[in-house]
Every structure is written in C-alpha cells, then in structure tokens.
Chain A
Amino acid sequence: QVHLQESGPGLAKPSETLTLSCDVSGYSITRGYYWGWIRQPPGKGLEWVIHMYHRGSTYDNPSLTSRVTMSIDTSKNQFSLSLRSVTAADTAVYYCVRFDMNKVVFDSWGQGALVTVSS
C-alpha cells in the first residue's frame, strides 16, 4: 500500500522560497501515476497546485505558474515542491498526493504539512 509523507520547514519568510519534500513508500514512482501537491489555506477550501509525471509532463495551477516548480528524484522515490516569492497568502497545509490522470482523481494523500509564511 502506498504511503506518502511530507517534510520540510514549517516556517518561511516573505519573498523567500518554500520547499517541501514527499517521501513515497510502498510504490515506485516510476511505475506510473502522476505525483503532485494540493494545499489548503486556513479557512479556505482545497486548492490544486501542481502534478507531474516522472518523465517530465507537468501541469500546474495557472495562478501559481510563475512561482511553482516540482521535481522528482526517482533514485530516492521522492518528489519536491518549490514555491518562490511566497507571501502570507501561501500559508497553508500542503498535501502531497498520487494522481490518476485517467480518472482525474487523487487516490492517495499524505497527512499534510503546515507551512506558515511570516517574518
């Protein structure tokens, strides 16, 4: 059974880059599926951020395109999120997810990591 676990700093300063990692166990990232990130700001709904295939195809939220990138390290079975020039509006719980592109459904989620943007 696949398990996803987020890790990274819980605090980021305004204008800096937020970086999170997701360790995947129980399933090889190269076997298929897309992998990605979803976030939930305090008091708001879920927001899709980005998802990516291990061979490079990437889809991201147009509202974040200029600031967001994702990378996959197949040797570590891990993927990462980078969000540049963060503001308080980027404060959220960030979830790493496995995404079934055919059904457009997120079938596995991490527990989530709270990142607060504050000076």
Chain B
Amino acid sequence: QSALTQPPSVSGAPGQRVTISCTGSSSNIGAGFDVHWYQRRPGEAPKLLIYDNTNRPSGVPDRFSGSKSGASASLAITGLQAEDEADYFCQSYDGGLSLHVVFGGGTKVIVL
C-alpha cells in the first residue's frame, strides 16, 4: 500500500479537464513537504511533470497544473489530448518514516 493515495484511473473526453488527487498525511504532504508529479506514457521513460507543487519544467505544456492544500495535492489537465493518456504518479518526502521518499500508487488517465 502506497503512502500517498491516488485514484486508480480517471477519464475524460478530448478537450475536457480532469484532475488527479494525491492524499497524504501529517508526516508528508500535511507536514509541508513539496509534491512532485510524473507522467509515464506507454513505452516511454517517466518524465517530471510538476515539481514543488506548482512548477512546470521547461517544455511541459501549461495545460498541466499542480496545486496543494493541507495534506493533499492535485494535478489538473485542461484541454485533454490523446497524447495525455498515461500513468501519473505523485511523490513527496516523509519526515515521519525513515523511508524519506514516498510515492502514490499511480493514476491511469484514459482519453475517451
């Protein structure tokens, strides 16, 4: 069981907006640690999508946005495109465990 909880899948039609939640606890996200998001398209290496809750690395479209509130974070994709069909993972740091790094279980985005 992952330390961060994500829905197994979300779906939307092209052009729509979808959001993915990432719920943590008082020892990780709720403790103020930053959340990062990764995208893994089929057959490709995972890619850093959002870092430090809201920031996009160079080259990531502004259709992708991140937010954080309390012990949860969210990734939003607006103007959904076929190429956005992928697995998305959230990640943070846990100060209450010796694990240090924690991940969500991943969310499959399905473009209808």
Contacts and interface: CB of A to CB of B under 8 A. Distances in A.
A114 to B, nearest CB: 13
Contact of B48 (A95, A106, A110): A106
Contacts of B45: 4, 95, 109-112
A21 B110 CA distance: 33
Interface in B44-94: 44-48, 51-52, 57, 89, 91-93
A48 B103 contact: yes
Contact of B104 (A45, A111, A112): A45
B99 A45 contact: no
Given A62-B98, A104-B34, A109-B46, A45 B51 contact: no
Interface residues of B, number: 26
Interface string A79-105: 000000000000000010000000111
A48 B101 CA distance: 6
A111 B102 CA distance: 20
- Of B47, B101, B104, B106, most buried by chain A (CB within 10 Å of CB) is B101
Nearest to A61: B99
B100 A48 contact: yes
Contact size class for A?
20 to 34
B47 A46 contact: no
B20 to A, nearest CB: 14
A107 interface: yes
A33 interface: no
A104 B48 contact: no
A44 interface: yes
Listed from nearest, the 4 A-B pairs whose CB atoms lie closest are A45-B105, A48-B101, A46-B103, A45-B2
Interface of B: 2, 33-34, 36, 38, 44-48, 51-52, 57, 89, 91-93, 98-106
22 contacts: A4-B45, A45-B2, A46-B103, A48-B99, A48-B100, A48-B101, A59-B100, A61-B99, A103-B34, A104-B34, A104-B36, A104-B92, A104-B100, A104-B101, A106-B38, A106-B46, A106-B91, A108-B48, A109-B46, A110-B45, A112-B45, A112-B46
